[in-house]
Structure 1
Amino acid sequence: MLPRKRQCEEETSNNNLPNKKNLIVAFGAADSDVNSDRSLSGSNNNNSSNVKEVDRGTYVMAVGDNNPQEIDEDLHSRQLAVYGRETMRKLFGASVLVSGMQGLGVEIAKNLILAGVKSVTLHDVGTVELWDMSSNFVFSENDVGKNRALASVAKLQELNNAVVVQSLTSELTKEQLADFQAVVFTDISLEKAIEFNDYCHSHQPPIAFIKTEVRGLFGSVFCDFGPEFTVFDVDGEDAHTGIIASVSNDNPALVSCVDDERLEFQDGDLVVFSEVHGMKELNDGRPTKIKNARAYSFTLEEDTTNYGRYEKGGIVTQVKQQKVLNFKPLREALSDPGDFLLSDFAKFDRPPLLHLAFQALDKFITELGRFPVPGVEDDAQKLITIASNMNDSSGDDKLDDINPKLLRQFAFGARAVLNPMAAMFGGIVGQEVVKACSGKFHPLFQFFYFDSVESLPSEPLDPDDFRPVNSRYDAQISVFGRKLQKKLEDSQVFVVGSGALGCEFLKNLALMGVSCGNQGKLTITDDDVIEKSNLSRQFLFRDWNIGQAKSTVAASAAASINPSFNIEALQNRVSPETENV
């Protein structure tokens, strides 16, 4: 739980919300200056005018300033520099659903709320478990037994009062998805995902659909933004230019540019010419496609044999092009995934195997109603058998080697949502939602798989080492074992800087249990103070922290995430003068 400016009443009464008649409870951003607080539970709310009964779903909403607004340039200065005003305005109008509020879901929601979308709806029908403590930074042990979405909504609202943050605790229907521009599912069966994706793909306009999972040291993302999705700006860069040195009278024509700066053109780009002397035919403003792009030259798909002879001068400018992507629905993409996005060229053959592994895990869970148990060989062999049978029936796409060792590692950690993996995929998926809602930057097309099996101990561990010990680190223990967890807890760590990355590092380290043992200690130093522009990305800070020291506020917030975190904050600049501090 993060530190708060004002305390809400205990939320345990949320578990008693009626099932047949459901409640909407709203509180506005303006309430932050009022001394009296409002409970999320309708039964404890003294202002009955703010409670409405509805017939569809259970929404509990923490309402920010949802009126049309100008861009707060102080708050969003960094985003404006990257996205531009038009993209920011599109984001401000986007409503997003995030389903599954374990570690991955909360990371995605956090990033979208900080980015400033119009609304984020948090969906989960499950309850908080001690198992969730090592990956979800908004949960405390007091939240165990509460609905995950309800336990998250108020704390995530603190990140940005201009965003509507609401929770949905009932089972989703396809029709409810029509309320959103983008939907993200982090914990859903393949059968249900196909059903929802079919609806989103055929909806007019299409609803951007993302399915993502973190299973131990393995992760996946699938994106479907509709049958015809237009990318308005593929790379977000300004149009590239070059100064012409010569143009040949050939077919195709060779264009050479001055060698002061390398050209950024690519094959297939469209360019226009201006201020060319001699070969004036090029100055007609008509876009021409280039090929054979090199560092200082390229050829034109144009015959200049009968053009005037080039004399001097000239500027060539790239014409930015829109791109239309034809996404396939999930049911088709599963059997025909196309090219996989690679993150590690040393593992170029890994994505097809992980594509199979995640499908095998879904079948395992469907058949047995649970995840494989860490360290239990029979469960690992069951998953390997399922994967082998699926591979044998895949026809021409059959893999030569299904790598039983990797599948065994996959099975043992499948139930765990590890914080570092959740943080990584939360960033990836959050960015994909921004692309889906704005058309800015080329989206992921369509599958992405990642693993970090090299993080596992090189020597086999005793299966008993993976067994839970009824602690907040049980999910992490199920992957790495108790011995490594003990080493993490007793670590001595020094962190320099508590800005955007520093806040993320502190959150991750606190959740992992680093420096949380009797022998452990983390020291952080930063001589800077909090400014308003920090709030849109340095998520441990709030508006009431402006002007305070970054290191002390970040340390306090991190200790709230994990009360066992042994952390000391300094305000020294790291330099030769402070080496002896």
Structure 2
Amino acid sequence: MHTGELTDTFIQSFGAVLVCKTLPKKELFRIDQLCRTRKLKGESGEEKVAPVVFFVAVNHGVTGHIFADFGDAHVVKDPDGEPLKTLVVDSWTESGKITVAAKKHGFEQGQKIRFEDIEGGVCKSGQVNLSVLNGATGIKVRAFIKRLYEKYLFTKADGTKEERERQIFESFQLDLSEAKTADGKVITPEELGPWKTGGIITEVVDPIIKEFRSLEDSLVKPAQGWEQDLWGPPHPDQGAWEKGAGKHVHLQFVTVLEFEAKYGFFPRLHNVEDSDNFVKLFETINEENKKSEKGVTVESVDKRRLRSYSWYFATELTGYCAFLGGIVAQEVVKKFGKYTPIFQWMHSDHIQLVGNAVPADAVPQGSRYDHQISIFGKSFQQLISNQRIFLVGCGALGCEYLKGLAMMGVCTGPKGKLWCTDMDRIEVSNLSRQFLFRAGHVTKPKSITAAAAAKQMNPALNVEALEMKVWAETENFFDDHFWDNLDLCWNALDNVIARKYTDSKCLFHGKPLLESGTQGTKCNSEVIIPFKTKYGCFVRVYYYPKNRILFF
């Protein structure tokens, strides 16, 4: 742990720098510039710019900000980390229609592809064997403008057949306008001979260069791309983002930095004068930006959002910090070119969690839960301390949830209790992501070990660890009395059968269920509330439509 001054040399000695406390803007600008301008000597002895990746990730009350700066020219070698799509050629007509042996080829217009193992047929005079496409570069997919259909025989329930028509999704053409053979010769489509057999198609992913702005410049102009120009920096709530929430929260961060520069301190907890001054400063900056046509502006000033931001600026929430920390930890990995980084801001807020005024019982108590009490009040803290929760699974997600519950003070009251169960034993491979476990815990029960670690974090946690499956054969323990006395069931599972079972029990007993799952860098989460939301959590767990995925 470094406790001294953040000197230029010290900052530039790292590969990544993460700021998780809002500092005065001059200090933030200084650190960012040092990261952007870091130089290293190459093998030839010549100095080259080698930026230190710079992040700001901060939580203030019910609001969070993430900023990323990967330098002037960050190369993304693999945008999404997905395996390259590989297909087999089924047929290739003289007109150039290629059909693959799959229901869909899944390629987009202009997608680059590479061929292997094509065998060309007998060529006419002047033609070139089609096998020259093997290993060729610059080949692109050209979709059919007109939809393709084919007729087929459909077998009815009574065994009779009828002719029907279906759209073809497995065919496409080639755009060879930029194609060159493996030895660099230009390919002329008209000269290619016929196809005989074979052909493996693999998609080609070209590197992408992302040009990041400095923090100082990006505060003024954060938007990059038409969507951000229209709606502002990204906000996880799509509806709120389209209404300008991203712009509003961004301008709040700009304003709080100006607030500190003007008054010498950040907004104080529950301070009415500070909140009034914060609102005025926000309005002033917004009007100045409109006149100068520089910087972010909002059409409507949400004073409730501004006052809440100021009142609770000095606080942090356990769950919010875990959310931001998980995202930024994954962003650090992107320094090496795998996955597309945040470009460059991600703001979020959950203003619906707080009211129009500070709760009457939100005075700090001098306890470890003061940040939560300062936002939600003492009565809320007492409520969550007496919850009775069933956590099913103590793996990667389960460890995170146990830590969060312990740190928040859930199940620490006289009536509160947490049951956690997991049949598995700790393996060496678990240690990279199941952070409550250490090397000395290998072969020990997950549930007992995780519960002990959470208890060490907060000795007041009332937790009982079990090594039992949750299914029909254990209903002698997990009986109706057990389920009826729960306030919440929380899934942290890795299989569908157990998900179906807990979901059915929550449905039968009318209990809320928190559901989530991960697969690589993808995740899903769902809150299932009796009589308000649909049940059936397991349906979404192992199927991830690409337009519904949150990538980290």
TM-score for the superposition, normalised by structure 2: 0.69
Q: Would you say 1:391 and 2:286 are equivalent positions?
A: yes
Residue of structure 2 in register with 1:328 after alignment: 213
Distance in 2 of aligned mates of 1:223 and 1:462: 33
After superposition, the C-alpha distances for 1:191-240 in whole angstroms (9 at most, x for unaligned) are 21111111211222211111121111211111111112222322223321
Distance in 2 of aligned mates of 1:389 and 1:418: 30
Alpha-carbon contact 1:249-1:306 (below 8 Å) kept:
no
1:432 to 305, 311, 331: 331
Give the SS at the match of 1:569.
strand
Distance in 2 of aligned mates of 1:569 and 1:249: 68
Alpha-carbon contact 2:390-2:418 (below 8 Å) kept:
yes
TM-score for the superposition, normalised by structure 1: 0.66
Larger Rg: 1 or 2?
2
Deviation at 1:273, TM superposition (A): 1.8
Q: Would you say 1:447 and 2:321 are equivalent positions?
A: no
Unaligned runs of 5+ in 2: 40-49, 122-128, 145-168, 178-188, 478-552
1:347 to 240, 243, 253: 240
Residue of structure 2 in register with 1:213 after alignment: 58
Residue of structure 2 in register with 1:506 after alignment: 402
C-alpha change, 1:444 and 1:292, in structure 2 (3 Å) is farther
Alpha-carbon contact 1:272-1:317 (below 8 Å) kept:
yes
Distance in 1 of aligned mates of 2:403 and 2:79: 33
Give the SS at the match of 2:217.
helix
Residue of structure 2 in register with 1:301 after alignment: 175
After superposition, the C-alpha distances for 1:75-129 in whole angstroms (9 at most, x for unaligned) are xxxxxxxxxxxxxxxxxxxxxxxxxxxxxxxxxxxxxxxxxxxxxxxxxxxxxxx
Residue of structure 1 in register with 2:113 after alignment: 271
Residue of structure 2 in register with 1:519 after alignment: 415
Residue of structure 2 in register with 1:42 after alignment: none
Residue of structure 1 in register with 2:255 after alignment: 360
* Structure 1 residues 232-251: aligned runs within 5 Å: 232-247=77-92
Distance in 1 of aligned mates of 2:396 and 2:424: 12
Q: Would you say 1:542 and 2:438 are equivalent positions?
A: yes
Residue of structure 2 in register with 1:492 after alignment: 388
Distance in 2 of aligned mates of 1:374 and 1:296: 60
Deviation at 1:368, TM superposition (A): 3.3
* Structure 1 residues 8-407: aligned runs within 5 Å: 167-187=1-21, 188-204=23-39, 205-247=50-92, 255-260=98-103, 262-276=104-118, 277-278=120-121, 280=130, 283-291=133-141, 296-302=170-176, 304-310=189-195, 312-337=197-222, 338=224, 339=228, 340-348=233-241, 349-395=244-290, 396=293, 397-407=296-306
Residue of structure 1 in register with 2:467 after alignment: 571
C-alpha change, 1:360 and 1:249, in structure 2 (3 Å) is farther
Deviation at 1:372, TM superposition (A): 2.8
Q: Partner amino acid for 1:172?
A: L
Unaligned runs of 5+ in 1: 1-166
Alpha-carbon contact 1:274-1:282 (below 8 Å) kept:
no
After superposition, the C-alpha distances for 1:20-53 in whole angstroms (9 at most, x for unaligned) are xxxxxxxxxxxxxxxxxxxxxxxxxxxxxxxxxx
C-alpha change, 1:344 and 1:311, in structure 2 (3 Å) is farther
Deviation at 1:377, TM superposition (A): 3.4
Give the SS at the match of 2:461.
coil
How many residue pairs end up in the alignment? 409
Deviation at 1:380, TM superposition (A): 2.2
Alpha-carbon contact 1:412-1:478 (below 8 Å) kept:
no
Higher-RCO chain (CA-CA 8 Å, sequence separation at least 6)? 1
Alpha-carbon contact 2:256-2:278 (below 8 Å) kept:
yes
Alpha-carbon contact 1:531-1:547 (below 8 Å) kept:
yes
Give the SS at the match of 1:221.
strand
Distance in 1 of aligned mates of 2:109 and 2:234: 21
- Most deviating of 509-518 and 291-300: 291-300
Distance in 2 of aligned mates of 1:224 and 1:522: 41
After superposition, the C-alpha distances for 1:156-206 in whole angstroms (9 at most, x for unaligned) are xxxxxxxxxxx1101212221121111111112222111111121122221
C-alpha change, 1:267 and 1:427, in structure 2 (3 Å) is farther
Give the SS at the match of 2:78.
coil
RMSD, matched Cα: 2.3
After superposition, the C-alpha distances for 1:249-284 in whole angstroms (9 at most, x for unaligned) are 67xx65443343x33434443211233344706624
C-alpha change, 1:259 and 1:532, in structure 2 (3 Å) is closer
Q: Partner amino acid for 1:434?
A: V
Give the SS at the match of 1:486.
helix
Give the SS at the match of 2:313.
coil
